[in-house]
C-alpha cells in the first residue's frame, strides 16, 4: 500500500468522523500537533538487540463518534533507534546503533473515561519506513553475534511496510494532553532479509515501541 493511498484513506475516514460529530449534540473535532520520545526494540531470536531512544512528531485529529467513543487519526514522522550486538576483527564486542526513519498513519478508537480529559485508546498503525541504517559506517564489517559471516551492513534492508497494534492511555485538559502508548508490530519487519542469500534465511522479528507524547489541540 502506497503512502498516497494511506493519506487518502485518512482524509476519507476523517470526513466520516466529522459527519458523525455534526449529528452529535456535544460533537467536537480537534486538530492537533503532537510530539514525543520513543523507546524502540525488535523482539527476535535471530539478533541480540538493545532498546534505544528516538522521537516522533506529527499531526493528529480527535472527534466525537458515538456515545463515549472518539475516533483519532494521525500522520507522523518517526525516527527510531535500536542497538544490535556484533564483534570486530579483534574480537571486541560492540552495541551497533541503527536508525529507522519513516511515516506512521494511525486509526484509533478512544473510549472516554472522562470526556475530553481521560481516555483509553486502541487500534492499528501503518508504518512506511526506510532502511535500518547504520549510524556509523565503521561498523559495516562487524560480524553479528551468533553468526560467522553475517555483517552489520547485511541487515539494513528491512521490510518497508509494517503494521502495528497500539494501546494506551491519554490524560489532560481539553486542548492539551499527554499520553503513554505501547505499539506491537504484528508483521515480520525482518522478513525482507530472507531473500538476500544471507547466512540466516529465516529471520523473524517484531517491533516493540513505547511512545511517551504530548499533543496540543486547536
pLDDT digits (tens, 9 = 90+) for 72-111: 989 999 999 999 999 998 889 999 999 999 999 999 999 9
Domain spans, the chain: 3-217
Q: Which residues 6+ apart lie within 8 Å of 81 measured at CB?
A: 40, 52, 53, 54, 97, 98, 99, 100, 135
| Mean pLDDT, residues 190-218 | 96
Q: What is the Rg, in whole angstroms, of the alpha carbon atoms belonging to the chain?
A: 20
pLDDT of residue 60: 93
3-state secondary structure of 81: strand
Please indicate, yes or no, whether the overall pTM of this predicted structure exceeds 0.85: yes
Q: Per-residue pLDDT tens for 166-196? A: 999 999 999 999 999 999 999 999 999 999 9
Q: Which of 46 and 26 is assigned the larger pLDDT?
A: 46
**Any bridge partners for residue 53, and if so which?**
39
The CATH classification number of 3-217 equals: 2.40.160.20
**34 pLDDT exceeds 90?**
yes
Amino acid at each position: 500500500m502506497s503512502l498516497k493511498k494511506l493519506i487518502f484513506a485518512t482524509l476519507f475516514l476523517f470526513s466520516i468522523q466529522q459527519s458523525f460529530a455534526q449529528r452529535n449534540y456535544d460533537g467536537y473535532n480537534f486538530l492537533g500537533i503532537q510530539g514525543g520520545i520513543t523507546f524502540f526494540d525488535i523482539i527476535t531470536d535471530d539478533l541480540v538487540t538493545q532498546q534505544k531512544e528516538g522521537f516522533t512528531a506529527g499531526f493528529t485529529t480527535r472527534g466525537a463518534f458515538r456515545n463515549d467513543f472518539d475516533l483519532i487519526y494521525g500522520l507522523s514522522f518517526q525516527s527510531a533507534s535500536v542497538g544490535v550486538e556484533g564483534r570486530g576483527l579483534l574480537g571486541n564486542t560492540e552495541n551497533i546503533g541503527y536508525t529507522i526513519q519513516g511515516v506512521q498513519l494511525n486509526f484509533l478508537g478512544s473510549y472516554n473515561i472522562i470526556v475530553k480529559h481521560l481516555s483509553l485508546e486502541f487500534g492499528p498503525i501503518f508504518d512506511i519506513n526506510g532502511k535500518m541504517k547504520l549510524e556509523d559506517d565503521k561498523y559495516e564489517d562487524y560480524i553479528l553475534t551468533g553468526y560467522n559471516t553475517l555483517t552489520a551492513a547485511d541487515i539494513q534492508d528491512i521490510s518497508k511496510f509494517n503494521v502495528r497494534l497500539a494501546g494506551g492511555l491519554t490524560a489532560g485538559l481539553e486542548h492539551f494532553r499527554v499520553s503513554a502508548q505501547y505499539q506491537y508490530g504484528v508483521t515480520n519487519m525482518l522478513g525482507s532479509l530472507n531473500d538476500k542469500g544471507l547466512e540466516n534465511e529465516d529471520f523473524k522479528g517484531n517491533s516493540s515501541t513505547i511512545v511517551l507524547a504530548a499533543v496540543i489541540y486547536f
